[in-house]
Amino acid sequence: MKKFFSGKRDSESRKLILYLILPIFLMFVVLLQTINLTVINGKKYETQSENNRIVSRKIYPTRGLIYDTGNKLLVENIPSSQLNLVPERSTDTLKKIKEIADVLNLEESFLLDTFERQIKKPRYPFQPITLAKSLNDEQIALFSVSSEKFKGFSVETGLVRSVVNKKSLAHVLGYMGYSEINDVNKSSNFISGNQVGISGIEKTYHDLLSGKEGTRIEEKDVSGKFVRVLSENNAESGKDLKLSIDLELQNFLIPFFEGQKGALVALEPKSGLIKALISSPAYDPNIFNSSSSLAEIQSIFSDDEGPLFNRATMGNYPPASTIKPILGLAALDEGIVDWNTIIQDDGEFYVEGDPRPYKGWKEDGHGKVDLEKAIVESSDVYFYSTAYDLTIKKLEPFLKKFGFGSKTNIDAEESNGLVPNEKWKLGYIGEFWFKGDSINLGIGQGYMLSTPIQISQAIAVIANRGEIIKPRLVEEIDELPTELKSLGKINLKDETNWEKIEKSMIEVIDSSNGTANNIKDTRYVIAGKTGTAQIKSYEDQEYEDIRENPFFRDHALFVGYAPIPDPELLILVVIENGESGSRVAAPIAKAGFDYYLNKNE
Amino acid sequence: MSRNPLEFSLSSKMIKPNRWLNQDWLVLFLIISLVSFGLMMIYSASGSAEMVLRQGIFAVIGLVFMIYLSFSDYQRLLPIYLNVFWIGIFFLLVVLVIPSDAATRRWIDLGIFGFQPSELMRCVLTISAAAFLSRNPRIVFRDWMIVIGVSLFSFYLVFIQPDFGTAIMVLISGILPVLISGFPVSYQIIGMITILLSTPFIWMNLLEYQKQRVLTFFDPSSDPLGTGWNIIQSQIAVGSGGYFGKGFLQGTQSQLNFVPESHTDFIFAVVAEEFGLFGVMGLFLIYLLLAFRLVMIAKNSNFLFVKLVAGTFIFLLLTYVAFNTAMVVGILPVVGMPLPFLSQGGTALIINMIMIGIILSFRRTA
């Protein structure tokens, strides 16, 4: 046998080596490809490998808390279970949303609406969208049972904004919501997918409250599972705000507005700090912050009474007679009248060559009227006459000096109000300025509009003897006091006129003829002025007929400050369709003074 | 019967003084190095000490076989070698008939480990083919045709498992002895044409996933999360390794499981990622050095059987290395082919070590 397997056969070795060239050649090609991958394209693959494993996560800061002046917590962050969706991970999303709404017993329309609004907004890839907040235990349990069916959906705990006192500070604090795309550029702290302040302090101070995003660089494995933290850049929590609002005063005054539309501003004239700010009717901001019911939210939006509207800073009202002290100062400063000038008030005022009467509120008139009496008894004829003499050329700049017609720069959303002039009238109404327009301006009517905060600021100028102080709601930011800011000083030719006009305003309450004599108090002295703003002209109709419709009844106004000589608080009250400044508005202010001044003793 | 080890070594040295000296220690050293390196890589790829331990046990079993066989007398074993392919055929049939839930029937579950008959087949087919072709001084044409027939049959049995990669290797392990032993060139050309003509037939018989692999190979980005994933991720792993690699256990692609099958077919990606271009060159040098030593054994022998077995094994070894690495770096479609001595898998490791043992035994009679 051995023999058969022996024998020299060199050709086999040669053939073998020939065949081996094939795999060796292939190995050489592999080596070339390896060089191609590592050396020539190494950088690219290195980057891809890093991108594979590294994920940069945003760390969301906690939003700053908000306190009142007595350090009572007004807004906090509370944990809430929310339904999140990562659209990139889900398929057939709309159908799944409908299904999950069914399973969790949530409003389908709410989820779809939220999703459709959110999906249009800029987002980081794989950033979750919050579809519903404040899930209850039952919903969480239902979700975990069927979570397998809903790829991309998850229930996570997040923080939601919660207003402690529900309605009482709704307009001051505002509410949170998902911002519109336009807001993205405005706010450096826009966190996509997270909520932003839509109104009130939440909006004005959004940047400070929201803090600074942090980032955490994490390593993940192929399934996206967290492996370890590579580096971390901590988030900076939002700053806490201390408002100047006195929650006790606020809550004391709110019941006076029960069932009424109106606004109240209470501020410290010297500092401009707002102590109470009421707009009625109000709403519960928590419905926006955490509710998952579309119907609930829509009911607020569709309410005819406009609960979202902050009347105290955005409501445009005619200032009516509350403007008279300022017009008095204007007339004095321009030399139209002095304190001894007497005007005969028989209830009507006529312009030469015009048979149309300008009626005063008191049919028989006030008789012989000087400036003090004109303010105390609120003579319309006196101010028709002075306004007529002043003309719009002098009226307009003087009113503007007191801040009418422009924003007060309070840290809330506000309207401009309106001080009309010839140019404005021609542009907007398309008519020339009539003398009668100036006359109407004399009693704060006509085209003039002002916000409650503007009137408050203007009257505070009298209390401050010409100093214009910017009103503000925030007293401290992270325990650092905010600055008192003077917006300028109004100089009168005769500086004693400040005190003299204030004296007239004291007599409004103290004099038995004063329009607000009903709130006279022997313990402290109040300076103030009532106002009754017509909202419907009654030239052609009898006033009594107009009164039949409550929506056409006059607005009742009162503005005053106390105690003299060192005023601590200025209060302005507007009651829409309240008819009488003295009967309806003044007693509310009085109650506020009583409460605040006694409390501070 | 127990013997004092010292007495044994002394006596064996006395009886056959050339037995130890005549051993190719370099080959043994290279094999042990490769296997140890493989265990390191498996650990890096899987992070599982248990897997390393299992593979380690297979390595020890393989080592025992290898060393035992390297001291055996192959000529006395020739009658056995002539018939071992029957064992291979038997197991290939067994794996096809035993019921299984899996879509592929490649394994016989032996409880502690899965035995892969196709791996055994490529070893026994070569040995039997070589023994068959060298049993007479002259090879008649019929001998070649018998070997080709058996090879095609074996190929078919593996192909229908289905395991295309190993089936090709089984076919080569039977055909190569035919080619090396002097199969006429004209017939070789006819064979080539036959293979080319049968390509459409093979393509039609490929399973959907196999076709997909081939198609994806030509455009991995067409399906980056599906079939293309393997190719893209292993290329990233290799590419990001750079010149010197990210270091042992530092390969993020492998450690974070971005490279699939990183402890088996894609272990080369781990090597490249953690040891870089120079690691790859070092590994290739070891394989080439091993092949060179084995070629020397074949060349120095006068026996056809030796040349055929050694030659086929060397060719298969380098083909495995070339195909496997080519697949990892993305120049060939993904087919299931392990990297010899490195990839996790007991049967292949033991079979390869047995082959080395048999080839080493040829030295003694060279």
Same domain, A334 and A399: yes
Residue A85 has pLDDT above 60, yes or no: yes
Q: Inform me whether the pLDDT recorded for A2 exceeds 50.
A: no
Residue A182 pLDDT: 47
Provide the pLDDT for residue B142: 92
| Closest Cα in chain A to B246 | A46
Do B239 and A9 lie within an 8 Å CB cutoff? no
pLDDT above 90 for B349: yes
Query: Secondary structure of B22-68 in the HEC alphabet?
Result: CCCHHHHHHHHHHHHHHHHHHHHHHCCHHHHHHHHHHHHHHHHHHHH
Name the DSSP class of A180: P
Distance in angstroms (rounded) separating the CA atoms of residues B8 and B1: 12
Distance from CA of A56 to the nearest CA of B (A): 17
- Cis check: omega of the bond before A565, within 30 degrees of 0: yes
Backbone angle region of B176, left / alpha / beta, with phi > 0 → left and psi within -120 to 50 → alpha: alpha
Instruction: Say whether both A253 and A204 belong to one domain.
Output: no
DSSP codes, A129-175 = EEEE----HHHHHHHHHHGGGSTTEEEEEEEEEEETTGGGGHHHH--
pLDDT at A152 over 60: yes
Q: Name the residue among A1, A12, A19 with its Cβ closest to that of B181.
A: A12
Residue numbers in B near A39 (CB within 8 A): 242-243, 277
Residues A503 and A523 in one domain: yes
A–B: how many Cβ contacts below 8 A? 162
Query: What would the two tokens of residue B314 be?
Result: 């060397």
pLDDT in tens, B160-206: 888 888 899 999 999 999 999 988 888 889 988 988 888 888 788 77
Please tell me the distance in Å from A3's CA to the nearest CA on chain B: 8
**Residues in contact with A35: Cβ distance below 8 Å, sequence separation at least 6, in sequence order:** B277
Contact by Cβ (8 Å): A381, A348? yes
CA angle, A328 as apex, A323 and A333 as ends, to 5°?
130
Q: Do B322 and A4 touch (CB under 8 A)?
A: no
Residue A452 belongs to domain with CATH number:
3.40.710.10
What one-character DSSP code corresponds to residue B257? T
Q: Are residues A490 and A530 in the same domain?
A: yes
Strands (E), A311-393: 343-345, 348-349, 358-359, 367-369
| Token duo for residue B320 | 């495995």
Residue A353 main-chain phi, psi, to 5 deg = 80, 10
Q: How confident is the model at residue B366 (pLDDT cuts 50, 70, 90)?
A: very low
For residue B251, the distance in angstroms to the closest alpha carbon of chain A comes to 10
B308:A26 CB<8 A: no
In terms of Cβ atoms closer than 10 Å to its own Cβ (0-12, 13-18, 19+), residue A90 is middle
Sheet of A569-575: strand order equals A274-280, A262-267, A569-575, A555-564, A525-533
Q: CA dist A563 to A139, A345, A402, A526, Å? A: 57, 32, 22, 6
Q: What residue of B is the nearest CA neighbor of A2?
A: B75
Mean pLDDT of B20-47: 89
pLDDT at B284: 97
Verify whether the Cβ–Cβ distance A19 to B302 is below 8 Å: no
| Chain A: residue whose CA lies nearest to B184 | A15
What values do phi and psi take at B102, rounded to 5? -70, 160
- The two three-digit tokens of residue A316, written as one number: 């445009």
Q: How many CB atoms lie within 10 A of CB A347?
A: 18
> A447 to each of A386, A390, A535, A589, B122, how far by Cα in Å?
18, 17, 11, 27, 103
Residue A425 and residue A383 in one domain: yes
Interface of B with A in 205-264 (CB under 8 A): 233, 235-243, 252-253, 256-258
**CA quadruple B114, B118, B123, B125: dihedral sign:** positive
Number of compact structural domains in chain B: 1
CATH number of the CATH domain containing A188 = 3.90.1310.10
Query: Rounded to 5 degrees, what are φ and ψ at A418?
Result: -155, 125
* Most confident among A205-214, A322-331, B97-106, B192-201 (mean pLDDT): A322-331
Question: What would the DSSP string read from start to end of A190-257?
Answer: --TTS-EE-SHHHHHTHHHHH-B-EEEEEEE-TT--EEEEEEEEPPBPPPPEEES--HHHHHHHGGGG
Q: What is the mean pLDDT of residues A38-59?
A: 84
For chain A, say whether B348 makes contact (Cβ under 8 Å).
no
Q: Distance (Å) from the C-alpha of residue B156 to the closest C-alpha of chain A?
A: 24
Give the mutation candidate from B180, B221, B361 for the A interface (greatest A CB count, under 10 A).
Answer: B180
The reply to whether A595 falls in a domain is yes
Do A204 and A279 belong to one domain? Answer: no
pLDDT value at residue B15: 41
- With CB atoms and an 8 Å threshold, state whether B78 touches A13: no
Percent of chain A topping pLDDT 70: 91
Instruction: Return d(Cα B199, Cα A303) in angstroms, integer.
Output: 77
In a domain, A183, yes or no: yes
Whether the upstream peptide bond of residue B333 has omega within 30° of 0, thus cis, is no
pLDDT of residue B316: 95
Domain of residue B162 covers 78-334
Residues A585, A519 contacting (CB under 8 angstroms)? no
Mean model confidence pLDDT for chain B: 85
What's the pLDDT at A125?
64
How far A150 CA sits from the closest chain B CA (Å)?
21
Predicted ipTM of the assembly: 0.89
Catalytic residue numbers of A?
Answer: 321
* Number of structural domains in chain A: 2
In one-letter notation, the amino acid at residue A425 is K
| Domain contains B292 | yes
Of residues B164 and B279, the one with the higher pLDDT is: B279
- Interface residue of A8, A18, A29, A34 to substitute, partner B, most B CBs within 10 Å: A34
The DSSP bridge pattern shows strands A66-67 and A241-243 to be parallel
Specify whether A164 is located in the same domain as A263: no
Pair (A260, A188) in one structural domain: no
Q: Residue A163 pLDDT more than 60?
A: yes
Residues of B317-335 as b/e, b for ≥16 C-beta within 10 angstroms? Answer: bbbbbbbbbbbbbbbbbbb
Suggest the residue from B74, B240, B292, B331 to mutate for an interface test with chain A (most A CBs closer than 10 A): B240
pLDDT at A148: 79
> pLDDT grade, residue B225 (50/70/90)?
low
In a domain, B279, yes or no: yes
- Within a domain: B60: no
The whole-number pLDDT of residue B324 equals 94
Highest mean pLDDT among A201-215, A218-232, A273-287, B307-321: B307-321
Is B311 in Cβ contact with A12 (below 8 Å)?
Answer: yes
Q: Is the pLDDT at A274 greater than 90, yes or no?
A: yes
- Is the predicted pLDDT of residue A31 greater than 90, yes or no? yes
CB contact under 8 A, B304 and A5: yes
Angstrom distance (rounded) from CA B230 to CA B223: 10
Q: Are A150 and A104 in contact (CB under 8 A)?
A: no
- What is the enclosing helix (H) or strand (E) of A556? strand A555-564
Tokens of A333: 């400063």
pLDDT in tens, A536-575: 655 545 555 656 666 778 888 999 998 988 999 999 999 9
Assess if residue B329 is contained within a domain.
yes
Answer whether B345's CB lies under 8 Å from B324's CB: no
In this structure, are A197 and A323 located in the same domain?
no
Is the minimum CB–CB distance between B329 and chain A shorter than 8 Å? Answer: yes
pLDDT band (50, 70, 90) for residue B7: very low
Question: What burial letters (b/e) apply to B244-266, b meaning 16+ CB within 10 Å?
Answer: ebbeeeebbbbbbbbbebbbbbb
- A573 vs A533: CA distance, rounded Å: 12
- Whether pLDDT at B337 is above 90: no
**Cβ of residue B192 closer than 8 Å to a chain A Cβ:** no
First to last CA, chain A: 128
Of all residues in chain B, the percent with pLDDT exceeding 90 is 49
- B177 to chain A nearest CA, in Å? 10
Residues of A in contact with B239 (CB under 8 A): 37-38, 41-42, 44-46, 48-49
Task: Report which of B257, B256, B279 is spatially closest to residue B268, judged by C-alpha positions.
Answer: B279
A385 plus A531 within the same structural domain: yes
CA B308 to chain A, closest CA, distance in angstroms equals 8
Distances (CA, A) of B309 to A487, B29, B125, B312: 102, 21, 10, 5
Q: Which neighbouring-strand residues pair with A220?
A: A226
Q: What is the pLDDT of residues A354-381, one digit of tens each?
A: 788 888 888 888 889 998 999 999 888 9
Q: What is the pLDDT of residues A387-436, one digit of tens each?
A: 998 888 888 999 999 999 999 989 888 999 999 888 888 888 888 888 88
Looking at the fold, whether A470 and A376 belong to one and the same domain comes out as yes
ω into B200 cis (within 30 of 0): no
Summarised one tens digit per residue, pLDDT across range A13-27 is 888 888 999 999 999
pLDDT category, A185, cuts 50, 70, 90? very low
Q: Residue B279 is encoded by which pair of tokens?
A: 């690691």
B230, B228, B239, B274: which is closest to B254 by C-alpha?
Answer: B274
Return the pLDDT at B13. 40
DSSP helix/strand/coil, A359: strand
| Residue B2 confidence (pLDDT) | 43
Amino acid at site A391? T
User: Which domain, by its residues, includes A125?
Assistant: 59-242
A203 shares a domain with A258:
no
Q: Which of A441, A371, A435, A428 is nearest to A399 (CA)?
A: A441
What average pLDDT does the structure give for chain A? Answer: 84
Task: Decide: residue B4, CB within 10 A, 0-12 exposed, 13-18 middle, 19+ buried.
Answer: exposed
In this prediction, residue A599 carries a pLDDT of: 67
**Residue A9 zone, left/alpha/beta (φ > 0; ψ -120 to 50; rest):** beta
Query: What span, in angstroms and rounded, lies between the C-alpha atoms of A560 and A567?
Result: 10
- B290: contact with A, CB 8 A cutoff: no
Please state the rounded mean pLDDT for residues B314-326: 95
Question: Is residue B48 included in any domain, yes or no?
Answer: no
Residue B23, pLDDT above cutoff 80: no
Q: Which residues of A touch B298 (CB under 8 A)?
A: 12-13, 16
Most confident listed range (A132-136, A177-181, A202-206, A543-547):
A202-206
Task: Give the model confidence (pLDDT) of A284-303 as tens digits.
Answer: 888 887 766 777 778 888 88
CB contact under 8 A, B302 and A37: no
Task: Answer with the one of A185, A208, A242 that is the final residue of a domain.
Answer: A242
Predicted confidence at residue B224, as pLDDT, reads: 58
User: Cβ(A20)–Cβ(B314) under 8 Å?
Assistant: yes
Question: Which residue do the tokens 């870089």 mark?
Answer: B276
Measured over the CA atoms of residue B91, residue B287, residue A9 and residue B73, the dihedral's sign is: negative
Coil/strand/helix, residue A450: strand
Indicate yes or no: CB of A2 within 8 angstroms of CB of B136.
no
In a domain, A290, yes or no: no
Contact A34 B329 (CB under 8 A): yes
Q: Which of A39-43, A139-143, A312-316, B100-104 has the lowest mean pLDDT?
A: B100-104
Crossing angle for the helix pair B74-83 and B304-328, to the nearest 10 degrees: 60
Q: Inspect the interface and report whether the beta carbons of B325 and A45 lie closer than 8 Å.
A: no
Is residue A377 included in any domain, yes or no?
yes
Beta carbons within 10 angstroms of residue A53's beta carbon: 18
d(CA A222, CA A387): 80
Name which of B192, B255, B290, B303 to mutate to probe chain A: the one with the most chain A Cβ atoms within 10 A of its Cβ. Answer: B303
Q: How confident is the model at residue B20 (pLDDT cuts 50, 70, 90)?
A: low
Amino acid at B100: S
The mean pLDDT of B225-246, rounded to a whole number, is 84
pLDDT for residue B138: 87
Reading phi first (left if > 0) and then psi (alpha if -120 to 50, else beta), residue A197 is in beta
